[in-house]
Structure 1
């Protein structure tokens, strides 16, 4: 049950919801849960949440001028600039606060291949969670 909770927190944290997954991860690590399983659930949940942003970018860009649209135009412009400067490899940094969600959204807008997207985003997010998990693993 706690692994499912971590997956859900990680999923929500990758969307535009103001949720963090790190506190849940750290609590479960301190409770003695398997670091490998926690790494797996946090990474897959967070990557799946990023796919939601990709889908929104891919299919809902037509609504970007609406007041309810989750990403502001200036943030979208910055993310597009990062993509044009650095290419698809910028997705390795999709875990970063503030710019990460717009990057995953722009990847959908630019129709980045979904498999490439999942691999790059997943690697980056796994590396981030490794920072938290590694001290408990060794």
Structure 2
């Protein structure tokens, strides 16, 4: 059951909801759950949540007038336009990360590069968070 909760929390944290999944990862590591299981569940949940945000970006791309975009959305669109799919390695960064994912959808980046770079960024983040939590309790 804790893994299902971690999955759900990680999924929601990668949508436009203002949540962070790091506390859940740290809690699970502190409760002596499997390091690799925690990292994998959090990464998969967060990636699938990002896929939802990417899909929303694609779906509304035709209805978004540029002049009404928020500053974060314009900045994210600039990052995606300049760096392409590799910018998604930073999809975990608070505030701008969700905007980068949505901008990738709006820009209609191909799904495979989106997936690869997003998973890499999120997996590295969760490995570092879990490793840090493990180091603090050792």
TM over 0.5: yes
Aligned counterparts of 1:10 and 1:43: Cα–Cα separation in 2: 8
RMSD over equivalenced CA pairs, Å: 1.8
Aligned counterparts of 1:54 and 1:31: Cα–Cα separation in 2: 33
Structure 2: runs of 5 or more not aligned: none
Query: In structure 1, which of residues 68, 71, 75 is the aligned counterpart of residue 72 of structure 2?
Result: 75
Q: Is the 8 A contact 2:61 2:105 kept in 1?
A: no
1:99 aligned onto 2:101: no
Aligned counterparts of 2:34 and 2:3: Cα–Cα separation in 1: 10
Aligned counterparts of 2:41 and 2:69: Cα–Cα separation in 1: 30
**TM-score computed with the length of structure 1 as normaliser:** 0.88
User: Deviations 1:12-51 (Å, cap 9, x if unpaired)?
Assistant: 1000112111111111111110000000000000010000
Which residue of structure 1 lines up, in the alignment, with residue 45 of structure 2? Answer: 45
Structure 1: runs of 5 or more not aligned: 66-70
Pairs aligned (count): 133
Q: Which runs of 4+ in 1 moved over 3 A?
A: 62-65
Question: Which structure 2 residues correspond to residues 48-59 of structure 1 after superposition, within 5 A?
Answer: 48-59=48-59
Which residue of structure 2 lines up, in the alignment, with residue 28 of structure 1? Answer: 28
